[in-house]
Structure 1
Amino acid sequence: MIHLRPYQPHDLPAIVALFQASVSQLTAQHYDSAQRKAWAPAATDMPAWQTRLASLELLIAEDGQSIAGFIGFRLDGYIDLLYCAPAYARQGVASALYAAAEQRLRAAGTRELFTEASLVAQAFFAGQGFSVQQVQTVTRGTVNLPRMLMRKTLELR
């Protein structure tokens, strides 16, 4: 049984470990080994993660034992992070996290959502009603990682 809750600072090590496992294990169809290592390096800069997460609203999905996934977003509509633990991939965790974030953003009056989706996440976001606006490349060191700028307009309810 998955339930959602707000992020707590003590979650940071588990969040970073989940991120690294997700990138390492769930993106191999779209990104080679060098790209995955550049995206989620083994040496973690925890202060950089703390700074990044401090600027976001974060929701955690957990099953009572472990963290199954997380989403980080801003009230301006930017979805910065959405990751699932490999053991929970394709089990509705990302959908539940996204739905809760969208509900929060609607309540805040946000009318447009946007994200920079990896090639792996592109299909998920398309399924949520996002469309590709632009192909982008982000560079980590000497490694290029393709991604998609995607947007969705929230209809008034």
Structure 2
Amino acid sequence: MNVRTCTESDVASIAVVFTESIHVLGASHYDASQRNAWAPRPADIEAWSARLSGLQTLLAIEGDAVIGFISYELSGHIEFLYTAPGSERRGVASVLYREVEKALPGVSLFTEASLVAKPFFLRHGFSVVEEQNVSRGGVMFRRYAMRKAVVAQHGAQADRPALRAVRRLS
């Protein structure tokens, strides 16, 4: 698996990973109306391009396929963390998450986690700040505002993804 930064040509693949992850992996926690409101098919690629434009996005690549992605702000907000169906529970999300921790030393990380993602973030040291009920397309969802205080290592420097070449990870 390789990790690299996202380019404009990756947007369609990211949208597919997001949509399929919600519809396949989210089926155990969300009903069809919730999944359809959250991730309508087909994905709107222009809307996805706009959503990603202000974010740092890293991709997990296997062969030529995007098998996961994480998008975050330099403030520490993790906006997206998704793995493709068939790639879950293989450490893909953990590898991507650790890259963000390395890129933002000393920054408190926070996210709004789905029912599916909540256990992942708890395992990585996040705490639930608040349970939230939100509406998308008139359909209600439960999610969790979560936060993790990150302590910088003495002498650590940011390993900014945009300044780093593609790196081979095992």
- Tell whether the structures are fold-level matches, with TM greater than 0.5: yes
For residues 1-157 of structure 1, what are the structure 2 equivalents within 5 Å?
A: 2-106=1-105, 110-157=106-153
Give me the whole-angstrom Cα distance separating, in 2, the residues matched to 1:113 and 1:123. 16
How far residue 140 of structure 1 moved from its aligned partner, in angstroms, is 1.0
Give me the whole-angstrom Cα distance separating, in 1, the residues matched to 2:44 and 2:6. 19
Kindly tell me the number of residue pairs found equivalent between the two proteins.
Answer: 153
- Name the SS of the counterpart of 1:88 in structure 2: coil
Give me the whole-angstrom Cα distance separating, in 2, the residues matched to 1:126 and 1:3. 25
- 1:87-134 Cα shifts (integer Å, max 9, x gaps): 10000000000000111011xxx4211000000000000001000000
Distance change in 2, residues 1:64/1:43 (3 Å): closer
Give me the whole-angstrom Cα distance separating, in 2, the residues matched to 1:153 and 1:36. 31
How far residue 24 of structure 1 moved from its aligned partner, in angstroms, is 0.4
Give me the whole-angstrom Cα distance separating, in 1, the residues matched to 2:11 and 2:46. 10
Instruction: Give ranges in structure 1 of 5+ residues lacking alignment.
Output: none
How far residue 135 of structure 1 moved from its aligned partner, in angstroms, is 0.6
2:6–2:59 contact (8 Å) kept in structure 1: yes
Question: What amino acid is the match of 2:111?
Answer: T
Indicate the structure whose relative CO is greater, using CA pairs within 8 Å and at least 6 residues apart.
2
- 1:32-75 Cα shifts (integer Å, max 9, x gaps): 11101111001422222111101100000011221110000001
Give me the whole-angstrom Cα distance separating, in 1, the residues matched to 2:89 and 2:43. 26
Give me the whole-angstrom Cα distance separating, in 1, the residues matched to 2:134 and 2:61. 30
- Name the SS of the counterpart of 1:27 in structure 2: helix
How far residue 148 of structure 1 moved from its aligned partner, in angstroms, is 0.2
Percent identity of paired positions between Structure 1 and Structure 2 = 44
Question: What amino acid is the match of 1:144?
Answer: M
Question: What amino acid is the match of 2:53?
Answer: A
Provide TM-score, normalisation by structure 1.
0.94
Give me the whole-angstrom Cα distance separating, in 1, the residues matched to 2:27 and 2:50. 28
Give me the whole-angstrom Cα distance separating, in 2, the residues matched to 1:82 and 1:131. 17
Instruction: Give ranges in structure 2 of 5+ residues lacking alignment.
Output: 154-170
